[in-house]
A = this chain, B = another copy of it.
Amino acid sequence: MGISLRAQNLPVSSIRKLIPFADKAKAQGAHVYHLNIGQPDVKSPEIMLEPLKDLDMNPVPYAPSLGTKEMRETMANYYHNLGYENVSYESIAIATGASEAIVMTLFSLCDVDDEVMVFEPFYSGYSVLAQMCGVKLVPIETRIENGFHIPQREVIEKAITKKTKAMLFSNPCNPTGAVYKKEAIDMLADIAKKHDIVLISDEVYREYIFVDRPHASLLPYLSSIPKHIVVIDSLSKRYSMCGLRLGSVLTQNKELFQSINKIATGRLSAGIIDQFVGAQAVNVPEQYFKEVQAEYKKRRDVLFEGLKQIDGVEVSQPEGAFYSMVKLPVENAEQFCVWMLEEFRDNNETVMFAPGEGFYATKGKGVDEVRMAYVINCDDLKRSVELLSKALTQYTSG
């Protein structure tokens, strides 16, 4: 018994595929700096975890399929605090991470072989989620010279076909760090209306913006094109709680919400203990984000300034999230990453990045790029840049 064609065609995660090499390096006693995965070392708000000590829940029941009322209201309340007063918890479904929220949305909007536009490079997980849904991702190029910003209207409209059902993007963008401008989002909203396409905005990095303009969320467009707006969210990055599997999908498109509800009941519920923890988010003080944001900004600066000094490295300054897509002066970045884990050591240390190819749908693109996640402290980041610099010298001269 073999496996299905679609399973054979599932991409391997760029972010995790080199883990066996890292494990081997560690087993040999080397220290590996992990810039491959967006798992922050920043502390979660203790005020969210503390109540677990007094959890009185026995037996541990299913949560309602759409999420506990407390958790849904916590999300609504979060949006209200951002100034979006018209969001009701009744338009919000709680999912097991943003990943499940995206699957629920893509399945509901697209039949098999329908198309969803993405700005390339895009978060590599989207490829797996789209493949699970039998949906084709249609990449629209963004360029390092433009800071990976959204291209001209013509470029996007040229990619639209009869099968185009939606556009999916993260803003701030994983993996590029681009923070899209209000005018660009206005343009997307106009395209969505004109071509009857749903915009799916993955806003899980909303708090991490290092430029002097507000986040251009899709939420304000609920008033003008309510049926064409989906906002995906997650608590993973916002509260440094990746292991809490809590995401959400917000839409005022009733048919879409009904379909999400059917999927949600089919898989019963998201975790009720995670939702208990997640609902404590209402108590997190504003100050928490200010501190975390300041910390990421410092890291961004350390990484960007460091990378600029390395000969042959191309990088654009990330404006948000905690990633940077970086072009290396090597032919094949994946082979270089493997080499760093297998052979390169400096004072018995090395560094790990995510190879760039997995962040592209266009064959051959991203081969000389890596994604770096600046989720480790500034000293470790400096050392990582130094390691990269030494490794490149050795690799390109060897």
Contact = CB atoms under 8 A, between A and B. Distances in A.
Contact of A129 (B100, B266, B270): B266
Majority SS of interface residues in chain A? loop
A248 interface: no
Given A4-B114, A266-B132, A269-B245, A43 B55 contact: no
Interface of A: 1-8, 10-13, 15-16, 37, 39-44, 46, 49, 52-53, 55, 57-63, 65, 96-97, 99-100, 103, 107-112, 114, 125, 127-129, 132, 134, 165, 196-198, 227-228, 240-245, 253, 255-256, 259, 262-263, 265-274, 277
Contact of A2 (B10, B255, B271): B255
A240 B65 CA distance: 18
A367 B275 CA distance: 36
A16 B2 CA distance: 36
B96 A245 contact: yes
A259 B7 contact: yes
Nearest to A11: B262
Contacts of A59: 40-44, 240-242
Nearest to A259: B7
Contacts of A6: 107, 111-112
A298 B100 CA distance: 39
A268 B268 CA distance: 20
Contacts of A268: 97, 99, 125, 242
Contacts of A245: 96, 245, 269-271
Contacts of A53: 52-53
A1 B227 contact: yes
A231 B127 CA distance: 28
Given A13-B265, A99-B268, 12 more contacts: A1-B256, A4-B110, A10-B262, A44-B59, A97-B267, A103-B267, A107-B132, A112-B134, A132-B263, A242-B269, A244-B273, A274-B274
Contacts of A60: 44, 49, 240-244
23 contacts: A1-B198, A2-B255, A6-B111, A7-B108, A7-B262, A11-B262, A13-B262, A15-B265, A39-B62, A43-B59, A44-B58, A49-B57, A59-B242, A60-B240, A60-B241, A60-B242, A97-B267, A107-B132, A112-B112, A129-B267, A243-B269, A243-B272, A245-B245
